[in-house]
Amino acid sequence: MPQITDPNRVLVEAGMVACFSSDLFSFELMLGEHEAIVSFSRGTGRHRPGALVGEHRVPLSVAADFIAGLNAVLAREDVNIGGRFTTQHFAWIAEGEPGGAPLLDIASNDMPKEFLEEIAADPGTQPALAERMRTRLAQDSFNQAYAIYILAQQLAQTLGYGPVRAPAVPVAPR
């Protein structure tokens, strides 16, 4: 599994495209000795450059924690649950100089485990459907693209750009 091994310059794009909405978070992290510079752009849709929202000097721990979260996601195998839906999550990660090969370039229409948990727990869900969701939940799936999207949302919130609307995703290897 690829890992970020040279965290001096890390590029991350993560987002989602759905029927009536889309979101793109783009970060460039430049790590120094005591602090990091994070350039943040936000846009809509995949491969659509976003407008630079801001450049922030943050404690080194903020960037290091984000990179550690990314490495935890990269360490887990992407395991589909088999529940397709119209929302596509995507993620792209590279390190070093521009133009290098990405460590990760993925997209997924697989339904994240957290969505299935909500469906199965909803008392309004038909019993047969809820049982199918519980069966799929037992498969121990993991959606890397979704997990990276959640990490990107959390970093954007840390930088002061809006609330996180989705639940946190556990990313520690099992």
Summarize pLDDT for 31-84 with one digit per residue, the tens: 999 999 999 988 776 655 666 688 999 999 999 999 999 999 999 998 887 767
Average pLDDT over residues 114-143: 82
CA 59 to chain CA centroid, nearest Å:
21
Q: What is the structure's pLDDT at 48?
A: 58
Q: Which residues of 96-107 are buried (b: 16+ CB within 10 A; e: fewer)?
A: eeeeeeebbeee
C-alpha 144/C-alpha 149 separation (Å) is: 9
Query: CB–CB of 56/116 below 8 Å?
Result: no
Confidence of residue 131 (pLDDT cuts 50, 70, 90): confident
Confidence of residue 129 (pLDDT cuts 50, 70, 90): confident
C-alpha 156/C-alpha 66 separation (Å) is: 11
Inform me whether the pLDDT recorded for 168 exceeds 70: no
Q: What percent of the chain has pLDDT over 90?
A: 43
What lies within 8 Å, CB to CB, of 73 at 6+ separation is 144, 147, 148, 151, 171
Q: What is the structure's pLDDT at 50?
A: 60
**DSSP of the chain:** ------TTEEEEEEEEE-SS-EEEEEEEEEE-SSEEEEEEEEESSTT-PPEEEEEEEEEHHHHHHHHHHHHHHHHS--B--S-EEEEEEEEEEEESSTTSPPSEEEEEEEPPHHHHHHHHH-TTS-HHHHHHHHHHHTT--B-HHHHHHHHHHHHHHHTT-----SPP---S--
Q: What percent of the chain has pLDDT over 70?
A: 87
Q: What is the structure's pLDDT at 127?
A: 85
Q: Give the pairing type, strands 84-95 and 35-43.
A: unpaired
Q: What is the structure's pLDDT at 163?
A: 58
Q: How many other C-beta atoms can be found within 10 angstroms of the C-beta atom of residue 153?
A: 22
Query: CB–CB of 80/140 below 8 Å?
Result: no
Average pLDDT, the chain: 84
Confidence of residue 144 (pLDDT cuts 50, 70, 90): very high
